[in-house]
Structure 1
């Protein structure tokens, strides 16, 4: 069992969130926490705009929670990991992966923001799914169902420590015959085993070689713990896939991934193998995040910051990010896929980027 990453002593909250049933539920779980009213969860100068927070990165993630109301409830097409990106029930995370894209937008601190109007989020997803009708034909995302990513901006396994939003979302998809929820996680929360997903929620455990994860996957469950949980989650009724993400290039990366594939193969049973799918996502970095990381975790940048093999590319969201050079990345991805096929021939690749 993974140790809880939460020790909340401060909660910033919007008045509307505080007054809601979900807000009251969250506050009741942390009765000793200091409460600070704010007009907007998105703009908290003492938190997001405070340059001094960079050196306090880990303490803030462990001890601070933001409680707000989700304003935009639109769903947008994806076509990669999922068919649609659902409105997020949270934003930010108590863990501190050094490559995370979310703090690139928030500034100097990125603790969990939980949204109190998850009932409205659920209604928006259900209405959208009803309008879709049946999935016309099997595709790389799923054979029978529309798939909704419900955890784009956080880690729902950690959010479940603070409220029942994740339990409610799993229950929602249990009642949608044409739709399936999906989220990636780096934290093993055994509470989720009691949610009875009945095959309608896909959980994706993110994996990478252990010696890299020890440096860049800060405050997460160990890689071996994530692998050991896969069979339990399959038995509990989840569809369990893996994210090989991010793939970070360095001298000896292929040997490390080969070892990881063999550990994964030895660590799961026949039922997990029969339904296993994977996403392969190579590292995307960012110069602003690099600058912040240098202030709280410079060792991570030894792995992430490689301008000799990276190039600038504008993302779909308009940001300038660093990715591995396009001509070489395709070759490295091909080598990765061939290695995966040799070691785990039963693991189908749903998405590679």
Structure 2
């Protein structure tokens, strides 16, 4: 990613990473702002500017460090070195939080964040798992900052606790030779290629993702697959059956043996629909009135019968190929 323009908090340039980014992207316009959370110039843009704004970069200092308990793959969701993303997945849950301002924000005070992470791990009475990629895609971010190898090698020296992150990107080469000491769980998000092409704009193709997770497995990382979000288009059974066939064929024996699978059905929102309608008028329609029902304020999920049908189908197809115990959870 080469940003079209960069908005920055002046205090960010007091940090080594902020200075390095300023030098690396010196040819791009740098626009000072008071806060990365409130850039009125961008917040007031029309929804149709959504894709253009994804080419911007925001550089700031993270001030919120509250850990949120989690009970899926991790013990805590950890605010870390970025939020938002330059990809444009039509269902992205970050849009629910940031609206059209879900562009990539980088936080340069990484030493402060890692110190808290390591202190929390050391003071715990057991190995904790920290989800450091819940607000962004750290593989994508790493292509700009190099934060992920730095984080993994520093944290692994503790030999206590685990880090985990999901990704839709295949740029994993910088992770393959790290001394991670088995302390990292990398989770690759997968979907049928038709859905990736029509819905997950700006992300890596399916075959590239599979090759990347195989390389991570060969490098000794613990790995998982996220079939997420499951999107029940008209021909969804055919699409997901083909996806599972491809995974069965292309995943390495080592990955198939050790992996776990997370399954998340799509939740959609009024905000996402409003942005997508204006920013991507020719894109596939994800909201279908007959298939979806309300789920909280302004959100929609699949009706109970359709959701149950999808779960039954996936359990059966996954169990037949990979074994019944591979599914960690379905939500």
Tell me which residue corresponds to 1:247.
230
Tell me which residue corresponds to 2:135.
153
- So what's the TM-score if we normalise by structure 1? 0.89
Residues 27-57 of structure 1, C-alpha deviation per residue, up to 9 Å, x if partnerless? 2221211111101001101113322xx3233
Tell me which residue corresponds to 1:202.
185
Distance 1:27 1:351 in 2: 42
Structure 1 residues 65 and 297: alpha-carbon distance in aligned structure 2, compared to 1, 3 A threshold: same
Query: SS of 1:46's equivalent?
Result: helix
| Unaligned segments of structure 2, at least 5 residues | none
Tell me which residue corresponds to 1:336.
314
Contact 2:50 2:279 in 1 (8 A): yes
Q: 4+ residue runs of structure 1 moved beyond 3 angstroms?
A: 298-301
Query: SS of 1:204's equivalent?
Result: strand
Distance 1:352 1:204 in 2: 15
Contact 1:227 1:268 in 2 (8 A): yes
Distance 1:152 1:262 in 2: 28
1:320 and 2:298 correspond: yes
Contact 2:74 2:130 in 1 (8 A): yes
Residues 297-346 of structure 1, C-alpha deviation per residue, up to 9 Å, x if partnerless? 134442x11121111112xxxx5311112354234212211111112227
Query: SS of 2:136's equivalent?
Result: coil
CA shift for structure 1 position 292: 0.5
| Unaligned segments of structure 1, at least 5 residues | 1-5, 135-144
With 194-203 and 16-25 compared, the bigger mean Cα shift is at 194-203
Paired residue total: 330
Structure 1 residues 128 and 330: alpha-carbon distance in aligned structure 2, compared to 1, 3 A threshold: farther
- So what's the TM-score if we normalise by structure 2? 0.94
Distance 2:23 2:325 in 1: 43
Structure 1 residues 79 and 33: alpha-carbon distance in aligned structure 2, compared to 1, 3 A threshold: same
What are the residue-to-residue correspondences of 1:100-119 with 2, within 5 Å? 100-119=92-111
Structure 1 residues 337 and 249: alpha-carbon distance in aligned structure 2, compared to 1, 3 A threshold: same
With 245-254 and 188-197 compared, the bigger mean Cα shift is at 188-197
Distance 1:117 1:231 in 2: 32
RMSD: 1.7
Contact 1:68 1:116 in 2 (8 A): yes
What are the residue-to-residue correspondences of 1:20-99 with 2, within 5 Å? 20-51=15-46, 54-62=47-55, 64-99=56-91
Aligned residue among 263, 284, 288 for 1:306:
288
What are the residue-to-residue correspondences of 1:213-224 with 2, within 5 Å? 213-224=196-207
Distance 1:196 1:269 in 2: 22
Distance 1:268 1:123 in 2: 36
